Structure 1
Amino acid sequence: MESRPTWSSRAWPVAWAMLFLLVSGLMTVGNQDPATQMLPLVVVGLAVLVSAWAVLRTRRERRAHEDRLAAWAGERAAQAERLRIAGDLHDLVSHGLGLITVRAAVAARLGGPDGPAEQASALADIEAVSRETTTELRRMLTVLRTPEAAAALRPAESLADLPGIVAAARGAGLDATLDLPALDGVSPGVQLTVCAVVREALSNAARHAGPTRVRVGVRRDGGTVVVTAVDDGPADGWEPRPGAGHGLDALRERVTALGGTLDARAEGAGFAVTGQLPDGAAP
């Protein structure tokens, strides 16, 4: 992407040079000759014309610079929006496919007298997740085609959506728990990012560890909101299904943009994701 446009007017340096030449010429020419007595008036008139030209030229250059600056700002905003939508698409698809993968893998292992019923329940869950993911994809694609349709999208996620996110993961086979005390005054941007951290952590646990135990917690530490997601490691016999590997990198950029940090590392047999988000709205 191009760097921020800069502006410097060349009109006034030219004007000052012309004015200097006019004054120098006036000083070198005597006014004893009657023919040259009108020269000062001519010089003044030329100086006024040069100044007027410099003012008009500067205004045109400034307007052109403002147009370039507006175009640059619009392109930068569009690029940021494309990156945001790409992140949202990744979160949506990764989470949905992760849940479907875990539920399908668990259903394939079911046996015994209750096996058919459990498999039918798993297929119903897979269908529900698939429909929800497809619906959200269509909404995003609609926004990309018709920006005025953005108002039809659901509101941005908040901490109130966390129980639903964890419940969906639990329904897909993860043994997920949530520790969410009452947190008042958390800014919308931090709430949205907390949901993104939890969603990505659950998706990674589903792909890499299968139907394992995951403990999700959100708390406040002074002026910082801390979100953690720790799993117990791969379930017995689970074969990891890694993704493209861009999820945590994109999430780290998202957290860093808010001035926070994201730590993702192995912890015992499992994996831990910890996000720390400074919250200016915190009391």
Structure 2
Amino acid sequence: MKYQGVPPPLLDAVLVLLALVDTWGNVDLGQELAVACALLGAFALLLRRRLPLTTFVLTLPTTLVTDAVFATLAALYTLSSLSRHRGLLVGCALTYSIIDFLPWPWSTLRVGELAGPNLVHLIYTLGTAAAPVFLGQLVQAHRELSLRLAEITKAREHERLLTAQSVLAKERAQLAREMHDVVSHQVSLIAVQAGALQVAGGDAETKEAAATIRRLSVQTLDELRHMVSVLRASGSRPTELTPQPSLADLRTLVEGSGIDADLVTDLPDNVPATVQRAVYRTVQEALTNVRKHAPGARATIQVRRADGTIRTTVTNTAPVRPALPLPSAHHGLIGLRQRAELLGGTISSGPTPDGGYELLLELPATDAP
């Protein structure tokens, strides 16, 4: 066993020294065989970590021919602390007990001597052999438990790290959606209004100020596009915003869009909140695209419910002037399609015969399972 703060080589040296002291106190130095066996057992302890079973076997002769048993018990303890083979440990313990119990040389053994007081000696020998085995198994269990606790602690740290990363990814996705749905919407409106002011301005100073506002708005949109792309790289599923818009905010959205648009809706108030948000974001994105790609066009927004399906249609006429070169991250329709799929609906878009454009969102009237 590796004790904390005690280097293994030093501990092995201490065990060898204790085995030599046991030899000096229990072995007649005049008996060469006994001394040789005791020295073999003592120095064999240096191999106990790498070859525990071999070390135990090498220490058995000292128990057989002498009363020095420290080396054998130390080797038995080491074997028990490192081995999982219970049968082997029982066999080694019984081997030690029998060798220690039987007298040496075995030729002096008499059957009658096995009864009486010697039975107590046998029980004592068995208990002596069992002690290092139990202690070694206890140390092994403690060591394995410590390793398991360390693994559990490491796993929990890893789990906490993954949880923190997941929360961060959701926050990034939420921020990306907010920047796209809210900030870019307002900035693009500023750019469109500035462009209109630049065209209709009566004096050079007004036109120059409008051009500056438009240029800065376009730069801001471009920077927002890069920021949204970075934030979306987290791979997290888009999250909703707080506070969330509803159908009651549609008219305010249309009136503030800067587009000549008509809103027709007949939806009741009991539409699920998730469906209301999806309809709002779809109309918002469609109006943003009209401002970007169809300047001067007229838009019609229809939100109706029929046969358990809520159908939102945003149609615009052909543009009356060239579109402004505003940057786009191309995430708008992708985000709308993902939102619709999560709610069990579909979204489609495409040009109309008169040169305009139409976007159609169909959602079930209830939350998707």
TM-score normalised by L of structure 1:
0.65
1:190-229 matches, cutoff 5 A: 190-220=275-305, 225-229=310-314
Q: Secondary structure at the match of 1:182?
A: coil
Distance 1:257 1:68, change over 3 A: farther
Q: Secondary structure at the match of 1:157?
A: coil
Q: Residue by residue, what CA displacement relative to the aligned partner does 1:224-278 show, whole Å, maximum 9, x if unpaired? A: 544332212212x333544324232344344445554432322332222233445
Structure 2 residues without counterparts, runs of 5 or longer: 1-80, 102-124, 218-223, 225-240
Distance across 2 between alignment mates of 1:19 and 1:187? 65
Structure 1 residue 161 and structure 2 residue 249: aligned?
A: yes
Could you tell me which residue of structure 1 aligns to residue 272 of structure 2? Answer: 187
Structure 1 residues without counterparts, runs of 5 or longer: 1-16, 131-136, 138-152
1:111-260 matches, cutoff 5 A: 155-169=243-257, 172=258, 174-220=259-305, 225-235=310-320, 237-246=321-330, 247-258=332-343, 260=345
Q: Secondary structure at the match of 2:85?
A: helix
Q: Secondary structure at the match of 2:245?
A: coil
Q: Residue by residue, what CA displacement relative to the aligned partner does 1:181-207 show, whole Å, maximum 9, x if unpaired? A: 233443333333322221111000011
- State how many pairs are aligned: 231
Contact 2:303–2:313, Cα closer than 8 Å, also in 1: yes
Distance across 1 between alignment mates of 2:329 and 2:274? 24
The one-letter amino acid paired with 1:271 is Y
Larger RCO of the pair (alpha carbons < 8 Å, separation 6+):
1
Could you tell me which residue of structure 2 aligns to residue 27 of structure 1? Answer: 91
Q: CA deviation at 1:67?
A: 2.2
The one-letter amino acid paired with 2:361 is G
Q: Secondary structure at the match of 1:32?
A: helix
The one-letter amino acid paired with 2:351 is A
Contact 1:106–1:211, Cα closer than 8 Å, also in 2: no
Q: CA deviation at 1:208?
A: 0.6
Distance across 2 between alignment mates of 1:215 and 1:182? 16
Q: CA deviation at 1:104?
A: 4.1
Computing the radius of gyration from Cα coordinates, the structure with the larger value is 2
TM-score normalised by L of structure 2:
0.52
Distance 1:249 1:243, change over 3 A: farther
> Equivalent pairs: percent with the same residue?
28
Distance 1:41 1:251, change over 3 A: same
Q: Superposition RMSD on alpha carbons, in Å?
A: 3.8
Distance across 1 between alignment mates of 2:337 and 2:302? 18
Distance across 2 between alignment mates of 1:70 and 1:107? 53
Distance 1:65 1:222, change over 3 A: farther
